């Protein structure tokens, strides 16, 4: 397990064997493989850019491995938050209120509309929404990561959901208007021929 080697000054020192070095490397590889998908997906939805998401992923794991040789989920989350704070202003945005003009109907939401609505959120709301509703983090864990109370996390999450609902309603109305215009153009073309 441990090897004793004679040091330059004549004393014996304990050094890790090759097997232990490999084990440490494997543990780091395992930590990376365990958390990389989550880190990349949060990074991608925060930036809407694969290259930036890869840069955040790399920076996150560099920080996590500097902080702890065998980082756990909390170490990786703290490093991810530090990377995101460097790129985004995660300050508090005014809370959203429901838009009475936009009424959401129950039904299917296109993935592209959902991604666009997420991208429209202020950075802090987007991060809290992604951590809670996409990654499934508890409000208390998010509060600990962001160094705020869980009530603030819940208020911000509600505000993010309201903004999302308003944006999705707006996108749905635009899609309906486009469909109506196309239908009218087709009817006009058929009547003319």
The CATH number assigned to the domain holding 21 equals: 1.10.1740
Q: Are 65 and 71 in contact (CB under 8 A)?
A: yes
Pick from 88, 122, 155: which residue ends a domain? 88
pTM: 0.64
Q: By the 8 A CB rule, do 78 and 55 touch?
A: no
Indicate whether 151 and 106 sit together in one domain.
yes
86-116 pLDDT, tens digit each: 888 776 666 666 654 444 455 677 888 889 9
Phi, psi at 131, each rounded to 5°:
-65, -40
Q: Which helix (H) or strand (E) holds 16?
A: strand 12-16
Residues 79 and 104 in one domain: no
Q: What pLDDT sits at residue 191?
A: 79
Same-domain pairing of 38 and 81 = yes
Three-state DSSP at 153 gives helix
Q: Distance between the two ends of the chain, CA-based, in angstroms?
A: 87
The reply to whether 76 and 122 lie within a common domain is no
Domain boundary among 88, 115, 139: 88
CATH number for position 124: 1.10.10.10
Whether the per-residue pLDDT at 12 is higher than 90: the answer is no
Percent of the chain surpassing pLDDT 90: 50
Residues 106 and 81 in one domain: no
pLDDT digits (tens, 9 = 90+) for 63-91: 999 998 889 999 999 999 999 988 887 76
Mean pLDDT of 148-155: 94
Least confident of 57-61, 168-172, 185-189: 185-189
Task: Give how many domains the chain has, as a whole number.
Answer: 2
> If you search the block for the tokens 């983090």, which residue do you land on?
137
Domain boundary, last residue among 88, 119, 136: 88
**Same domain assignment for residues 30 and 67:** yes
Higher-scoring residue by pLDDT: 34, 3: 34
Q: Are 157 and 124 in contact (CB under 8 A)?
A: no
Q: Are residues 146 and 175 in the same domain?
A: yes
pLDDT in tens, 178-188: 888 888 888 88
Statement to judge: residues 174 and 112 lie in one domain: yes
Nearest to 69 by CA among 108, 17, 126, 31: 31
40 and 53 Cβ atoms separated by less than 8 Å: yes
Residue 104 exposed, middle or buried by CB count within 10 Å (0-12, 13-18, 19+): middle
The answer on 185 and 112 residing in a single domain is yes
Asked if residues 163 and 96 have their Cβ atoms less than 8 Å apart, the reply is yes
118 and 74 in a single domain? The answer is no
Of 91, 93, 87, 71, residue with least CA distance to 24: 71
**What is the DSSP code (8-state) at residue 9?**
T
Instruction: Print the domain residue range for 75.
Output: 1-88
């Amino acid at each position: 397990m441990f090897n004793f080697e004679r040091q330059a000054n004549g004393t014996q020192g304990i050094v890790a064997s090759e097997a232990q070095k490999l084990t440490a490397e494997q543990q780091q590889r395992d930590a990376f493989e365990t958390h990389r998908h989550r880190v990349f997906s949060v990074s991608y939805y925060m930036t809407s850019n694969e290259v930036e998401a890869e840069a955040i992923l790399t920076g996150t794991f560099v920080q996590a491995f500097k902080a702890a040789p065998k980082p756990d989920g909390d170490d990786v989350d703290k490093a991810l938050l530090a990377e995101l704070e460097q790129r985004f202003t995660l300050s508090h945005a005014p809370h959203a209120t429901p838009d009475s003009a936009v009424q959401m109907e129950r039904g299917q939401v296109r993935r592209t509309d959902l991604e666009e609505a997420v991208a429209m959120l202020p950075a802090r709301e987007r991060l809290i929404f992604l951590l809670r509703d996409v990654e499934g983090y508890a409000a208390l864990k998010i509060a600990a990561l962001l160094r705020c109370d869980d009530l603030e996390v819940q208020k911000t999450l509600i505000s993010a959901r309201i903004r999302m609902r308003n944006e999705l309603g707006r996108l749905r109305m635009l899609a309906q208007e486009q469909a109506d215009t196309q239908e009218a153009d087709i009817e006009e073309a058929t009547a003319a021929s």
